Structure 1
Amino acid sequence: MSFAPKSTPLVASGHTRPVTHLSFSSLQDDGSYLLISSCKDGKPMLREWTGDWIGTFLGHKGAVWSTKLSPDSARAASGSADFTAKVWDTYSGTPLHSFPHNHIVRTVALSPTSSHLLTGGQEKKVRMFDLARPDAEPDYLTESAGLAHEGTVKSVVWVGDHTGVSAGEDGLVKWWDLRTRQLTNKINFSNPITSMELSAQTGRLVITSGTTVAFVPALPNSNGKAHSLNLAYAPSSATIHPIWQDRFVTGNTGDEWVRIHSMDGDEREVLKGHHGPVHSVEYSPDGEMFASGSEDGTIRLWQTTPGKTYGLWQGQG
């Protein structure tokens, strides 16, 4: 009798507080990619695609809620409870710019050319900074009363050359023309948005709100169709397989498990390994693995196909 290989995660340790957010880089020309992690210890970490530690970005004085990498992985951006957003050189770990805010920065996004930075957070504002003029006043994306949202801005993403998308605790997802700073579209959820990530390869936003997971075209005027599901629990984060697009993975702050679902919502597998609620999940750009970050302070890397020779799993199948 034979059994399917069991999914055994690799544990990437190093953080000392809960891991709040994970983000992979784009796939590089040599087939590699990087992983950057945010943590309440205030020290974002950069890792190889194998999970091996590259370096730690030192400079924040509070919890880091969001970190993103530029498409070429040369730059990183971070948003923190110390009321700043920072842009870093990933080769040297040097902070290049620090942008002060008046409250906690919960989310950041770099433009495709690393020329601009979007930020959002507990001020309910979305700012756009020109990195060529870091001392200049930022532009603001506002709909009314000088605010972008009526609740904390939980996520901002940059889509294409000129589109920004913001999601807030007010349950709204908004699209902005970054050339005019004008609102162009919005959709409403009945519960606060808990996460929103751009799946660049599938052209979709993956959004969690209450017990809902939604897959929404990243550009509203595209030919894609929105697809949403109601789960039996409230996911904290979700990520879709970038190649196969036949499954998605969720984390959940209500337990310590990572779940794999088919696109009709059926639960395929429950993965156990963390010792605390799971705050963030993210597929690698090649779809060969996904990462989960937890309250337990660890990052775990899971193979899409357990037993396959890949990275540090080589010889473990």
Structure 2
Amino acid sequence: MTEPQYVYQKERKEFGRQCLFADKKYLMVSIASEHSEFNNYILRNPVSEGTQLGKQYALTEVNTVSTTTESRGIMHTEGGWPKDVNFQDAEQTLRYRRKLEKDETYITQVPRMGEKVEFCILQNNAVNIYEEYFADLDPAPIVDRCHSRTMYVYKDVEEPSRPISHLSWSCDGGSKLAITYCDTNFQKRTSGVSFNSYIWETENPNQPLYKISPSGPSICIEYHNKDPYLLVSGQQNGQCCAFDTRSGPNPVFCTPREVSHRESVNSVLWINSKTHTECFSGGADGQVVWWDIRRFNERLDVLYMDPMKTDDQSLDRAYGVSVLEYETTIPTRFMVGTEQGMLFFCNRKGKTPMEKIPLRMQCHASPIYTLARNPSFFKNFITVGDWNARIWSEDCKESSIIWTKYCNVELTGGCWSPTKCSLFYLSRMDGNVEAWDLLQQQSEPVLTIKVSDHAIRCLKPHESGKMVACGSANGFVHLMEVSENMSFSAKNDKAILNAMLDRESKREKILEGKLREIKIKLKKQLELQDAKVSDLLQLQAEMPPEETKVYDDLPKIKPELVAQLIDTANKEFFSMIEEETQRRIKAVQNEASSGKKSLKTKKKHDGSSTEIHQNQSSERLDEEVTNGHNDEHENKNQMNGNAATTTNGHVNENGHTNGHDDADDEQQKQEQE
């Protein structure tokens, strides 16, 4: 039985015409229900059945070991020719092509492939793939979301792995990354731990490019600004070493122990000079020392970070240096961050210590981990310490102009983006890296990157602004790539940020002026109080010695509080006198009424009629109250040869009663009768 066929006939010009579709009501099949069949069926009762169709999943984590790979290439200029055919001979290749075109397989394959190509072409002609359905709507603005990804991970090749202490990019476009490994925990054991540092090629995370072998653990390292082969490092034992990768892993110059720092070198930087061989270092002993790598056996200059504003500097008072800041465009000025959170503004042109350190500011409660100027605005710089980051201006000497909110974890470092003026990064102890954009929002970071499960010790951005190197505490360096909107500044970003920083600086200046006025007013009030106190002291000096003896027993207090204490004491004294007067009046009245009742009772008991004078003088009653007069009745009882005397009065610690003696009682009774 042949299948039903229907042949469509149309002219050649109608081939490939666009299909036009229209909506209409079209009924394919309609089958009416048969009511006579309803009696043959009944409704089935529902039955509950339970089945377990859930799939079981298992989570397995595998940390693959990095394998060593090698790249090889082959130059392929002309391919597909047999060995006996010379592809450089045009006539020989032409004869070979004609030979293939006469083959039967070639004749059959070309039409077969042409049918598939023609079918695809006809499909594209039938449907307009370039039609715009909503052409009249306004285009929505494109919002770029901030994102990042991990490009490479550089693992410490030594065992056991060591924490990352510092990172430095080379000056030849950032093709190499120098990494130092050192555990800076106090009294950490260093036996059996390697001191080697490594230089990695950016695109090869499998094995390091160079090895650096100092005499001790290196805390910091810096590439030269112009020579990509020269490096300088600061060690934990206080020495500074210079390396040349062309001469081998050992240092070419090293400072002697007697002229080195007394404690670890926390920061070292290159400076501009005619010979390009000078650098300066800062150590935990509070010294900033200038060196020339050609003469590492002597110091060029030294400066103590003494917090006291005096020309007589002392190394005992000096604060330990945690970070140095130096801008090549400002060769005479630099800044120093200390372990006590104090920031020193220094000028190398000064002749005396007061001129070399013109300003000191307390920035943080913990050591300053990061100190860096903005690449676009040199007068603004960022400091990172304790639980927040602060942005400062050289025009405001009292406080910062912008600061982040306090984090729930401690911050470990930060850096500015070299290409986007409003962006900076912060590293945290929980392994996260925050990206803050001042022009987008100031309350929250625009992006939080989970880099590692361990603490991030240091950050270093690439000069292109597209990559950020993050060193963790487990010996891994993660190279992160950020999105385009975090790599470059927009057209008006620099002008907007400049206006924002100027506005915040003016606000802080106004607040500083108001605070200065308040301090002046308080100073005047204290001067007035001091004048009053001096008058009181003069009056006290004129008083007799027996009256001033009371003041000598008082503890020494501040002069500005003497007047306030005297006023309070006067009020309390007069209130106590008033209360005591009222109490005595009530006591006299109660004693008078009780005396009348006792005299009447005694008269009835004795059977004698005596006349009691009721008009007793008030002076006698006052005397009875003040002397604590109490009627006493003595009863003598002899028990076991001991005599015990009981009285109705009070007994003091010495065994004496507060009442009168027996003779006084008899005399008072006679007077009353």
Which of 275, 284, 301 is residue 139 of structure 1 equivalent to?
Answer: 301
CA distance, structure 2, for counterparts of residue 207 and residue 4 of structure 1: 24
Q: Matched residues in 2 for 1:200 and 1:210: separation?
A: 21
Give the residue type in structure 1 aligned to 2:199: L
Q: Aligned letter for 1:151?
A: Y
Q: Contact 1:252/1:277 (CA < 8 Å) preserved in 2?
A: yes
Partner of 1:302: 480
Is 2:195 the counterpart of 1:42? yes
Over 3 Å counting, the alpha-carbon distance change for 1:48 and 1:112 in structure 2 is farther
* CA offsets 1:194-244 (integer angstroms, 9 cap, x no match): 312435733354321212212346xx479xx95432332431101121111
Q: Deviations over 1:107-140 (max 9, x none)?
A: 1111134432211222121111133432223411
Match of 2:284 in 1: 122
- 1:5 and 1:287 mapped to 2: Cα distance? 14
1:95 equivalent in structure 2:
251
3-state SS, counterpart of residue 101 of structure 1: coil
1:281 partner amino acid: L
1:247 to 2:415 alignment: no
State the shift of 1:51 in Å.
5.8
Q: Does residue 201 of structure 1 match 2:369?
A: no
Contact 2:148 2:449 in 1 (8 A): no
Query: How far did 1:33 drift?
Result: 4.2
Larger radius of gyration: 2
Measured in 2, the distance between the counterparts of 1:227 and 1:159 equals 22
SS at match of 1:194: coil
Q: Does 1:159 align with 2:331?
A: no
Q: Per the alignment, in what secondary structure is the counterpart of residue 166 of structure 2?
A: strand
Q: Which moved more, 1:193-202 or 1:107-116?
A: 193-202
User: What does residue 232 of structure 2 align with?
Assistant: 77
Backbone CA RMSD of aligned residues: 2.9
TM-score, with length taken from structure 1: 0.81
Mapped contact 1:122–1:153 kept (Cα < 8 A): yes
| SS of structure 2 residue aligned to 1:8 | strand
> Residue 437 of structure 2: which of 239, 247, 262 is its match?
262
1:67 corresponds in structure 2 to: 221
- What is the one-letter code of the residue matched to 2:435? I
Deviation at 1:299, TM superposition (A): 0.3
Structure-2 separation of matches of 1:235 and 1:173: 18
Structure 2, unpaired ranges of 5+: 1-144, 183-193, 307-312, 485-673
SS in 2 for 1:267: coil
* AA in 2 matched with 1:300: H
> How has the CA–CA distance of structure 1 residues 163 and 115 changed in structure 2, closer, same or farther, with 3 Å as cutoff?
farther
Q: How many residues align?
A: 296
TM score, norm. by length of structure 2: 0.41
Q: Aligned residue for 1:315?
A: none
**Equivalence for 1:106:** 266
Shift of 1:280: 0.6
Structure 1 residue 303, shift from structure 2 partner: 0.3
CA distance in 1, matches of 2:316, 2:267: 14
* Residues 253-293 of structure 1: CA deviation (Å, up to 9, x unaligned): 2x122222223252222222423111111211110110100
Q: Would the alpha carbon gap of residues 149 and 179 (structure 1) be closer, same or farther in structure 2, given more than 3 Å must change?
A: farther
Comparing both structures, which one devotes a greater share of its residues to strand?
Answer: 1
Contact 2:467-2:480 at 8 Å conserved across structures: yes
Equivalent residue for 2:554? none
Change (3 A) 1:20 1:240: same
**Distance change in 2, residues 1:131/1:230 (3 Å):** same
CA–CA separation in structure 2 for the residues paired with 1:228 and 1:244: 19
Is contact 1:216–1:226 with CA below 8 Å preserved after alignment? yes
Which structure 1 residue ranges, 5 or more long, are not aligned? 307-317
